[in-house]
Structure 1
Amino acid sequence: MRLTGGCNCGAVRYASEGPWRPVIACHCSQCRKTTGHHVAATSVPREALEITGEPRWFASSKNARRGFCPSCGSQLFWDGPGVNISVMAGTLDGPTGLVVKGHIFCADKGDYYEIGEGQRQAPRADPELTTQVV
Structure 2
Amino acid sequence: MSLSGRCNCGAVRFTVTGTPDEAVACHCTQCRKQSGHFMADAEVPESEIVIEGEVRWYHASETARRGFCPVCGSGLFWQRLGSGDMGFSLGALEGPTGLRLEKHIHTASKGDYYEIADGLRQA
TM value normalised by structure 2: 0.95
Q: Map Cα deviations across residues 21-63 of structure 1 (whole Å, 9 max, x no partner).
A: 3210111111111111111001111011100001100000001
- 1:49-88 equivalences under 5 Å are 49-80=49-80, 81-88=82-89
Match of 1:31 in 2: 31
SS class of match (2:67): strand
Q: Which has the higher strand share?
A: 2
**In 1, distance between residues paired with 2:65 and 2:118?**
31
* One-letter code aligned to 1:118: G
Give RMSD over aligned pairs.
0.9
Name stretches of at least 5 consecutive residues in structure 2 with no aligned partner.
none
Runs of 4+ in 1 over 4 A off after TM superposition: none
* One-letter code aligned to 2:103: G
Matched, 1:10 2:10: yes
TM value normalised by structure 1: 0.88
Match of 2:103 in 1: 102
